[in-house]
Amino acid sequence: MHLLYAIFLGIVEGLTEWLPVSSTGHLILVNGIVKTEDVFTSSDLFLYVIQLGAILAVLTVYFGRLNPFSKKKTQEERKKTRALWSKIAAACVPAAVVGVLLDDFSERFFSWQTVATALFVYGVAFCLTARLNLHVRTGSAEEINLRTALAIGAFQTLSIVPGTSRSGSTILGGMIAGCSREAAAEFSFFLAIPVMFGVSALKIAKNIPLLTGGNVLVLLAGAGSAYIVSLFTVKFLTGFVKKRSFFVFGVYRIVLAAAVTLFFLIRG
């Protein structure tokens, strides 16, 4: 049963990690609703480390584009890929600093009240952004300059609060900084690779005693299902944003915030 529940949580992770709806927030809420006796699947270690499966999905989908050593690319194309990675690295700096300094601080806010509030606030922000005629200066992730990359990295630090959504913060920041929806979404995908690897490594280092044989198997089950589902989610979102705005995700966040609040108030 623990393995089946871990697989289910991995499916939730794969569906929500790349959409701007907060994967961690959804996992916290699912654990709050289900009330499983398995303490490990609701632990900070499990909730973050299963994200490794989602990261591997991005690497799978974009491997050719992100590989700076590909022989299929011209010298100029390899140069552009290396430049993209340098901007990704620069954008990671704010999150790395804040993540290390405030890691314990963020764990204190793992509650349905925090999640519901963040879902609502960001939902309103996405609805407003979708209705505003923002000036687009950057059409692709490769065209993002260093200044814009740092701005997106600064927005990413907001995701330390559960319910805000890492992808939601970076996509919103990218669009405000002048990126197209597609460029903001793809840069958000790419930025997740080093950031989520770093966060997962930090959680593992702090929770080594929890890595027993059974728990490792549960982690692998969750990460595996997150990987498979993420393959489809990433492709869906990149196709979606070419034709539509993020307004529907803003509405979803607002409705979910209301539903979560009502559920927990009734349950007491």
Residue 100: which pLDDT band, with cuts at 50, 70 and 90?
low
In this prediction, what percent of the chain has a pLDDT beyond 70? 93
Instruction: Provide the pLDDT for residue 186.
Output: 95
Instruction: Provide the pLDDT for residue 38.
Output: 66
Helices in 44-164 by DSSP H: which ranges?
A: 44-49, 51-61, 63-66, 75-101, 103-107, 112-131, 146-156
- Comparing CA positions, the residue from 206, 124, 137 lying closest to residue 172 is 124
Sign (positive or negative) of CA dihedral 162, 62, 234, 124? positive
Number of domains in the chain: 1
Instruction: Provide the pLDDT for residue 104.
Output: 62
> Is 204:43 a contact under the CB 8 Å cutoff?
no
Residue 246 pLDDT greater than 80, yes or no: yes
pTM: 0.86
Taking the C-alpha atoms of residue 257 and residue 142, their distance in angstroms, rounded to an integer, is: 35
Per-residue pLDDT tens for 22-69?
A: 887 787 778 777 766 667 777 778 888 898 999 999 999 999 999 999
Instruction: Provide the pLDDT for residue 159.
Output: 83
Instruction: Provide the pLDDT for residue 98.
Output: 79
User: Which structural domain range is residue 28 located in?
Assistant: 2-267
Average pLDDT over residues 170-197: 93
Taking the C-alpha atoms of residue 137 and residue 139, their distance in angstroms, rounded to an integer, is: 7
Instruction: Provide the pLDDT for residue 171.
Output: 94
Residue 203: which pLDDT band, with cuts at 50, 70 and 90?
confident
Which residues is 138 bridged to in the sheet?
A: 179
